[in-house]
Chains A and B, each alone.
Chain A
Amino acid sequence: MRADCIVIQGSNMAECHPVGFQWVVEARARGAKVFHVDPRYTRTSALSDRYLNIRAGSDIVLLGALINHVLSNELDFREYVLAYTNAPMIVSEAYRDTEDLDGLFSGFDPETRAYDPSTWRYEGVAEEPAAGLRAEQLEAGQAHALAAGPDQYGAGGAAAHPHPTTDPTLRHPRCVYQVLKRHFARYTPEMVEELCGLSRADFAELADAIIANSGRERTTAWVYSVGWTQHTVGVQYIRTASILQLLLGNIGRPGGGIMALRGHASIQGSTDIPTLFNILPGYLPMPYSHADENLDAYLTRAGGDTGFWGRKRAYMVSLLKAWWGDAATEENGFRFDNLPLLTGDHGHYRTVMGMIEGTVKGYFVVGENPAVGSSGGRAQRFGLANLDWLVVRDLTQVETATFWKDGPELETGEMRTEDIGTEVFFLPAASHVEKEGTFTNTQRLLQWREKALDPPGDCRSDLWFYYHLGKLLKERASSDDRDRPLRELTWDYPEEGEHRDPSASAVLREIGGVGPDGRALSAYTELRPDGSTRCGCWIYCGVYADEVNQAARRRPGREQNLEALEWGWAWPANRRILYNRASADPAGRPWSERKAYLRWDEERGEWAGPDVPDFEKGKHPSYLPPDGAAAEDALSGTDPFIMQTDGKGWLFAPAGLADGPLPAHYEPLESPVRNSLYGTQSNPALRTYPRPESPYNPERSPRFPYVLTTYRLTEHHTAGGMSRPLAYLAELQPELFCEMSPALAAELGLENGDWATIVTSRTAIEARVLVTERVRPLRIQGRIVHQIGLPYHWGWGSGGLVTGDIVNDLLPIAVDPNVYIQESKATTCDVLPGRRPRGAELLRLVEEYRHG
């Protein structure tokens, strides 16, 4: 909205987040320059100033070249970079870059395919900063890196020494600035042309625009979506953008930032209060199995003691008190020993392998449809078919609930209903209007929904289901020690209505936290490490401040400024722009009047502006921490990145990442292109799960010559369970199609509307061909590379009014080593004219491709 330039990359915002896109349209109408960088020309491109066609999976080359352009011409926002980033920090002599090791960083173990990050540290602080990390390395070794990547350190990231050696002139050859300069030197416009397929003129136009629109007077925003995250280098995509935006001074300022557009109503909420294996609410790490694991040891390992993460004991103890109440005492470590412990990767795809192998017996699937929605759907369905019991809760009979009676493996003869032993319970769910509760949107905003009416029949909310299931399980708990966490679990929520629904407000109030007097807390700074406060998710602390459901506030937008602080409630502390201290210069003055946001008000002795300061309100810009200061007191008045141990934006990440302290371009696991930047082809630390149910296309295989990417349409939602059954939406987009260029269609002898079969090592599917100039062939390394695009909304069931083959079945199960997200945006395939074979013939075709 306040940006002067917006780069949308890895997102089709106009079609996938149309109502959010109105703000981009408005910004453009007011003069902002809008770029769209994507493998497909879409409505987002049509409404941008410039569209840049890029090969799927090559974005780090482009972003890296922009960084190189900034660094080699010293176009960075130097005052911002010096004051607010770790550019001047000196990196250890032991560090070796991809420049030295042909695409690897120091510390790589080829046997475990994992990094030991100890050489990535700053100089001279080997013992101190990484104490927790080192203890882990000594004991758990690389298993730790397999466990959870950076989440293991919690919200603060890994610890780094707050005051390492620095060189403010940025001349020292090992200062972060120079390390970056050297690392990105080979990311040139020529390389962009060779690997991304983007002309030098296009690159220059983008580079000039972001430079012209960054600095004191102007800001540039980057917008991304799963076009960036769903890669085996997904985390490093975002890192590259962060480095660029920090160098340009575009973080923490109005109209700046990196905006993630997320795809589900509360996908942000389900990360904050995670139904994820490796974290507890508020990004506290799940404990890991160490010989001495207890609360103290856990907190030592969970990151540094400086910055607001330094209060992690208060956050953790308050969580344990919320869960185990009076049973959690100082003497028993607040029942830390009620928590189960991790030993490695327990992510979604690893769990599916556990089903196939027979270790996972029972599975709850709620509002999700992995049989058609996850990569490598065949592995999913073979896993489901090997369970003892399966509980599916949804609005319709989704494919995950019915695979045993109508799944594709029945047609191929690989499964027979009478042989599948899985016991299946389908429980109908309440819709979003039939229950009350909060969603957290993509901007961290919690909005309370009122209940409009009761759900029909046996439909119940998931709150109802888990609450009543919990009661039944507590009744069944024995006096055995194993059942103690269940027996002691606090589970007393007021019941409401005919169906005895638990009170969602009472649950939200528990999440928001209460003090020693039982009153709702107003801010996470009120949380105490002594067990006197209880809080289910520290970053949501204050959502029930003054005993008022803050998320239910609805002061109309037109009566407020742009921040609209009285509509809903944003975590943390209702702040709308994170790290907004950086919107002012070190002395506390706005960088320019045009980009004024927060300023230090000397008279009142506090920070003032249209937003809630993401900083201690009364901390003077000249504040310097005394020796031995802890938590936020250890950060100075010029350290805006208050969750970091050193308060700085990290251009170079001395710890915390599983695949390197800096981003490097690696090709997707399955790519038709050789990595011309390094001898290392794909991310050396990526994870695969090789099984007969989920094989891989060989690298640069002539059998799979085309780049395949997947995407969404405006009229459908993810795997289609919430859109295929709706008449309007089904009619608007009735059928799966495959977008390809006229050139590729001609090469294959296909015309618009024909059937085509798309083949990978996993399976083959059929789709109608949509011949369109929106997809253009690219010249990569001197030869033509074709890309095709497939929307992935179809399946055979879900009460759908329209059906179609399952695009996700084509995809490999290969994941990023930091967060275990799968690579679904760039893979390889072959395309054949005509419909796919049926039954056993289909298996034969795929088998030929695998071994042909």
Chain B
Amino acid sequence: MFARWPVIRQLRGQDGRGQAARSARTDALRPRVEEADSVARSVCPYCAVGCGQLVYVKDGKVSQIEGDPDSPISRGRLCPKGSASKQLVTHAGRQTTVLYRRPYGMEWEPLDLGTAMEMIADRVMRTRRDTWQQEHEGKVVRRTMGIAGLGGATLDNEENYLMKKLYTALGAIQVENQARI
């Protein structure tokens, strides 16, 4: 019994991080990644190096995000941001409901997602109609200068594609993203 006291074990020359730190409780501990229900192969969402991530999910929640050792780019490594990216997904400050601020309103109001979509669609069609330019300085332009978009560098290629496709079909040309900035 005496010989199992951590201080004795350390005095006997065992590494404080190895045998000396073992207990019944630590022996029973399992890594979160081992207990996960599923793992998805992902990519870090911050800079453009494109480090591989493994996203572990347990009980419908992200339980861990780690570097993917298979990635020839990152070889399992993540920087402080990539290592903290589980918090990006799980932090309490994430807004998960639609918010609406009416013109001149003093506060946010709740709004149903479906209603918001219908209202946005109405506004797009109305603004497009009101600001349509068939011609500009005597030449055909077929466009609206009333609608603009910003964003894309943090989104997926597929998302950028649908955005550019839809905006162009609407005649909205003022489409920009962080690549310009």
B144-181 CB contacts (< 8 Å) to partner A:
144-181
Interface residues on B, range: 35 or more
Chain B residues within CB distance 8 Å of chain A: 38-52, 55, 57, 60-62, 65, 69-75, 77-85, 87-89, 91, 93-108, 111, 113, 116-125, 127, 130-132, 134, 136-137, 139-181
Which of B89, B111, B149, B169 is the most central at the interface, judged by chain A CB atoms within 10 Å of its CB?
B169
Contacts A348-B181, A359-B146, A459-B96 given; indicate if A453 touches B62 (C-beta within 8 A).
Answer: yes
Q: How would residues 441 to 456 of chain A score, 1 for a CB under 8 Å from any chain B CB and 0 otherwise?
A: 1110111011111001
A239-253 vs B: 1/0 string, CB under 8 Å?
A: 000000000000000
Q: Cβ of B179 and Cβ of A276 under 8 Å apart?
A: yes
In the complex the two chains form, what is the Cα distance from A832 to B88 in whole Å? 37
Interface size of A as a range: 35 or more
Given A389-B123, A447-B50, A489 contacting B98 (CB threshold 8 A): no
Q: Is the CB of A388 within 8 A of B123?
A: yes
Closest beta carbon of chain A to B66's beta carbon, Å: 12
Let me know if A469 and B120 touch, CB within 8 A.
yes
Interface centre among A267, A452, A466 (most CB of B within 10 A): A452
Q: List 25 A-B contacts (CB under 8 A).
A: A266-B152, A266-B153, A266-B156, A270-B160, A275-B163, A275-B176, A289-B139, A341-B139, A361-B127, A361-B147, A367-B151, A370-B150, A389-B120, A421-B104, A424-B101, A425-B99, A425-B100, A433-B42, A439-B50, A447-B43, A458-B113, A564-B72, A717-B81, A718-B178, A726-B91
Q: Is the CB of B179 within 8 A of A363?
A: no
A489 CA / B162 CA spacing, docked (Å): 11
Contact call A340/B80, Cβ cutoff below 8 A: no
B169–A391 touching, CB < 8 Å: no
| Contact of A16 with B169 in the complex, beta carbons under 8 Å | no
A345 to B55 Cα, complex, angstroms: 42
B93, A396: Cβ atoms closer than 8 Å: yes
Which residues of B sit under 8 angstroms from A473, Cβ to Cβ?
Answer: 121, 124-125, 166, 170
Quick check: is A196 within 8 A (CB to CB) of the other chain? no
Question: Residue A760 at the B interface, CB < 8 A?
Answer: no
Which residues of A, 368-383, contact B by the 8 Å Cβ criterion? 368, 370, 373-375
A179 vs B9: C-alpha distance in the bound complex, in angstroms?
Answer: 78
Q: How far is the CA of A323 from the CA of B124 in the complex (A)?
A: 20
Instruction: Say how far A435's CB is from chain B's closest CB, in angstroms.
Output: 7
> Which residues of the partner chain A approach B154 to less than 8 Å between Cβ atoms?
264-266, 367-368, 722
Which chain A residues lie closer than 8 Å to B49 at the CB level?
17, 19-20, 261, 441-442
Interface set, chain A 716-731, CB cutoff 8 A to B? 716-718, 722-723, 725-729
A441 in contact with B152 (CB, 8 Å):
no
Residues of A within 8 A of B57 (CB): 452-453
Pick the 3 closest A-B CB pairs, nearest first: A557-B72, A441-B50, A437-B156
Knowing A274-B164, A426-B108, the reply to whether A508 touches B97 (Cβ < 8 A) is: no
Chain A residues, Cβ within 8 Å of B77? 19, 22
Q: Are B42 and A363 in contact (CB under 8 A)?
A: no
Q: Which chain B positions have C-beta within 8 A of A359?
A: 131, 145-146
Chain A 255-273 interface mask (CB, 8 Å, partner B; 1/0): 0000001111111111111
Interface presence of A470 (CB below 8 A): yes
* Candidate in A20, A363, A562 with the most chain B CB atoms within 10 angstroms: A20
Interface centre among B42, B152, B154, B168 (most CB of A within 10 A): B154
A235–B27 Cα distance when bound, in Å, is 59
Asked, given contacts A275-B149, A799-B94, whether A425 binds B111 with beta carbons under 8 Å apart, the answer is yes
Q: A19-B78, A450-B40 are in contact. Are A428 and B95 (CB under 8 A)?
A: yes
Digitize A408-428: 1 where CB-to-B-CB distance is under 8 Å, 0 elsewhere.
000000000111111111111
Check B170–A486 contact: CB distance below 8 A: yes
